[in-house]
Amino acid sequence: MTDKQEANSIRIEQAQALTVALQANDHAEVERLIDALASERDSALFLELGKLTRQFHDAMMSFSLDDRVVKLAEKDIPDAKERLNYVITMTEQAADTTLNAVEEVLPVSEAIAAQVGDLAVRWDRFLQRDMPFEEFKEFTKEISEHFSHSREGLALIQGKLNEVLMAQGFQDLTGQVIKRVIELVREVEENMVELVRISGKRYVPEAKLSEPAEEEEEHLQGTGPVVPGVDDRKGNTMASQDDVDDLLSSLGF
């Protein structure tokens, strides 16, 4: 016997009992039976109203989520791709600038080091009074040229180091871009989890719909870290929707 047939059988018995009570002028029994019938009617109405509210709530949530997913697919995700391409471009430019600067600076620094080494050896000979006067005159000329070449080489090295330093400034800009993309990924993750949660509820047996909502939240744990300033961007609308969902779940709908 189905639930509907069983309910009809109970109502027939109650109607027969009501007839007997009326014939016996048992007013107390008549009122009790009428209250019971009214209570069942109210309970059935409440049940249908709850089911209707659940369906409407899920439909509204799905519609709201669909809008957000469409926005993510049409605008935010392409925008994130462009941002990541920008990060790649900036990183490549900084790497090229650094490598080019090093390639230009290395020969200059090696030449200065070699010249300093040669002059140091000859300077030691001069201190030991082991240098003829004519060689000393040539040595002083080479020292003057060394000072001139060193100034030019050090100026080049300093300029290239400044270029390398400026190139590293890309990290501030790209860091902000990467943080924005991470937030977008987090939002996509939340929306996908929410879609799975809502879609899954539509196919859960009715016996499981009355289980506490906390179990459902436990299944969602581990989907991603809770980042301060990121998870609270749902706003009051989502919070109120969750309140409605919890209320309906607590009522068994």
pLDDT of res. 244: 58
pLDDT score, position 88: 86
Cβ 162 vs Cβ 110: under 8 Å: no
Q: What spatial distance separates the first Cα and last Cα of the chain, rounded to whole Å?
A: 24
CA distance 174 to 163: 18
Closest CA to 62 of 174, 201, 231: 201
Whether residue 202 is predicted with pLDDT greater than 60 in this model: the reply is: no
Mean pLDDT along residues 77-105: 86
pLDDT tens-digit map of 12-70: 777 777 677 777 877 787 777 777 766 666 566 556 656 665 665 665 565 555 566 66
C-alpha–C-alpha distance, residues 87 and 145, integer Å: 46
Distance CA 29, CA 21 (A): 6
Higher per-residue pLDDT: 217 or 147: 147
**Residue 148: what residue type?**
S
- 92-104 pLDDT tens trace: 888 899 999 999 9
Q: Which CATH class is domain 57-250?
A: mainly alpha
77 — pLDDT class (breaks 50, 70, 90): confident
pLDDT value at residue 227: 44
| Look-up of token digits 């799905």 | 62
Residue of higher predicted confidence among 122 and 224: 122
pLDDT band at 171 (very low <50, low <70, confident <90, very high): confident
Q: According to the model, what pLDDT value does residue 248 have?
A: 58
Q: Report the C-alpha dihedral over residues 91, 97, 98, 100, rounded to 10 degrees.
A: 140
CA distance 217 to 197: 10
User: 167 vs 230, which has greater pLDDT?
Assistant: 167
Q: Which amino acid is at 29?
A: E
User: Among the ranges 47-56, 72-81, 202-211, 218-227, which has the highest mean pLDDT value?
Assistant: 72-81
CA distance 38 to 7: 14
Residue 220 reports pLDDT greater than 50 = no
Instruction: Give the model's confidence band at 230: pLDDT under 50 very low, under 70 low, under 90 confident, else very high.
Output: very low
pLDDT, tens digit, for every residue of 108-149?
999 888 888 888 888 888 888 888 888 888 888 888 888 888
- The pTM of the full predicted model, rounded to 2 decimals, is 0.42
Query: Would you list the domain boundaries of the chain?
Result: 1-44, 57-250
